[in-house]
């Protein structure tokens, strides 16, 4: 026996309609109708206060509504930044979970985990700082140079080496960056710094702070040269600097040239001997500059007048 579609529906569900029929009109009882008709009307003062509150909220969005709508390119860039930030946060959370699992398995000590988490960059603080600087630039506020010190001197910063380093711990290897930088005002003050960090920006920032702490005074005489020949050694690196006449320029290479230029030495001859390490050569140059003495300093140290030092040796 073959059943039609209607026969199959009736065989399965009977005569009950599949869709519940709803009345077109809503029927209220007499009590419900009396309750609706006799409901008290809200006071006009409450309605006015609610209206005023809504108007104040709309007025608060007035300046925001006047801002230009971002272009498609700007929206795409914002989406890319948000996506990259989400990926970084997810990767960082996964790394932390892996470190915690390594501690549970005994492959990593809790002290190493604490050190690892302490060395992690503060991404949120860096993002807030970048956003603040960008907002100040957009508002047209006066831009203060990063290398301006509180004493009013103009400082110049130069990165002479930036390399990747590895720190071996019990749980594995920790990758980071080491930075060597020179800072000077080109008027007799120079300093060398070397620090490391998990990120490039962190390493550079720490290095510049370290260079500020190690600033030394360099005596300059004549046409921007040094008083006399000097030689210094730092570990396996040696440095020799010789004064030169006006117009010679700074004849030196590598990190020695960077230190001499930022110190303000315009005419000098420099030579690196021994190790080719940029850090050791820079430290040796600073050590040689520290050993320099002017004629007045030598006269004061010996207790002899300057004129006596300038006279030729008498038999």
| Average per-residue pLDDT for the chain | 77
What is the model's pLDDT at position 97? 79
232 part of a folded domain: yes
Q: Is 219 helix (H, G, I), strand (E, B) or coil?
A: coil
Percent of the chain clearing pLDDT 90 (strictly above):
30
Give the CATH number for residue 222. 3.30.230.10
Which tokens belong to 54? 């809504």
What is the model's pLDDT at position 256? 94
176 part of a folded domain: yes
CA dist., res. 305 & res. 295, Å (int): 10
161 neighbors 179 (Cβ within 8 angstroms):
yes
Which carries the bigger pLDDT value, residue 211 or residue 299?
Answer: 211
Structural domain that includes position 290? 156-300
List, as own/partner pairs, every contact residues 172-180 make where C-beta atoms lie below 8 angstroms and the sequence separation is at least 24, other chains included: 172/102, 172/108, 174/116, 174/119, 174/198, 176/119, 176/203, 177/203, 178/203, 179/203, 179/204, 179/206, 179/207, 180/207, 180/255, 180/278, 180/279, 180/282
pLDDT at 12 over 60: no
Assign 147 a pLDDT band (cuts: 50, 70, 90): very low
pLDDT at 32 over 80: no
Which carries the bigger pLDDT value, residue 62 or residue 285?
Answer: 285
CA dist., res. 298 & res. 291, Å (int): 12
- Tell the residue number behind the tokens 């508002």, with chain if given: 139
Q: What secondary structure does DSSP assign to 26-65, as a single string?
A: ----HHHHHHHHTPPPPPHHHHHHHHHHHHHHHHHTHHHH
CA angle (84, 87, 92) in 5-degree steps: 125
CA dist., res. 155 & res. 35, Å (int): 82
Which carries the bigger pLDDT value, residue 26 or residue 162?
Answer: 162
267 part of a folded domain: yes
Q: What is the arrangement of strands in the sheet containing 216-217, beginning at the earlier edge strand? A: 156-169, 172-184, 189-197, 216-217
43 dihedral zone (left: phi>0; alpha: psi -120 to 50; beta): beta
253 part of a folded domain: yes
Count of beta carbons in the 10 Å neighbourhood of residue 245: 9
pLDDT at 24 over 50: yes
Q: How many domains does the chain have?
A: 1
Q: How does pLDDT run across 101-128, given as a tens digit for each residue?
A: 777 777 777 677 666 666 555 554 555 5
Average pLDDT over residues 80-104: 77
User: Side-chain half-sphere of 131: how many Cα atoms within 13 Å?
Assistant: 8
CA dist., res. 114 & res. 111, Å (int): 5
Average pLDDT over residues 53-77: 69
58 part of a folded domain: no
169 part of a folded domain: yes
Which tokens belong to 172? 């594995």
pLDDT at 223 over 80: yes
164 neighbors 103 (Cβ within 8 angstroms):
no
Flag whether the pTM goes above 0.75: no
pLDDT at 275 over 60: yes
227 part of a folded domain: yes
296 part of a folded domain: yes
What is the model's pLDDT at position 67? 59
For residue 62, report the phi and psi dihedrals to the nearest 5 degrees. -60, -55
Which tokens belong to 289? 């500059």
Give the dihedral of Cα atoms 252, 253, 254, 256; nearest 10 deg. Answer: -10
């Amino acid at each position: 026996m073959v059943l039609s579609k209607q026969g199959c529906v009736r065989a399965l569900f009977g005569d009950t309609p599949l869709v519940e029929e709803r009345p077109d009109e809503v029927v209220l009882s007499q009590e419900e109708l009396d309750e609706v008709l006799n409901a008290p009307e809200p006071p006009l003062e409450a309605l006015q206060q609610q209206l005023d509150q809504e108007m104040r909220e709309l007025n608060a969005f007035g300046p925001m509504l006047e801002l230009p709508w971002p272009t498609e390119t700007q929206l795409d860039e914002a989406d890319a930044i948000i996506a990259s930030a989400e990926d970084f946060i997810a990767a960082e959370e996964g790394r932390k979970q892996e470190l915690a699992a390594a501690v549970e398995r005994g492959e990593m000590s809790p002290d190493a985990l604490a050190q690892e988490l302490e060395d992690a960059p503060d991404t949120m603080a860096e993002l807030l700082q970048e956003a603040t600087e960008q907002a100040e630039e957009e508002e047209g506020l006066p831009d203060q140079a990063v290398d301006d010190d509180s004493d009013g001197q103009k400082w110049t910063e130069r990165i002479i080496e930036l390399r990747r380093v590895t720190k071996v711990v019990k749980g594995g290897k920790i990758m980071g960056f080491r930075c060597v930088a020179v800072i000077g005002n080109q008027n007799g003050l120079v300093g060398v710094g070397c620090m490391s960090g998990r990120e490039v920006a962190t390493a550079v920032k720490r290095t510049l702070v370290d260079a500020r702490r190690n600033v030394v005074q360099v005596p300059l005489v004549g046409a921007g040269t040094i008083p006399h020949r000097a030689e210094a050694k730092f570990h396996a690196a040696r440095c020799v600097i010789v004064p030169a006449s006006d117009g010679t320029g700074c004849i030196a290479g590598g990190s020695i040239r960077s230190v001499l230029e930022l110190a303000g030495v315009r005419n000098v001859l420099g030579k690196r001997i021994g190790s080719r390490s940029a850090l050791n050569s820079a430290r040796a140059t600073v050590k040689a500059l520290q050993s320099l003495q002017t004629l007045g300093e030598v006269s004061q140290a010996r207790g002899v007048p300057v004129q006596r030092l300038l006279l030729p040796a008498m038999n």
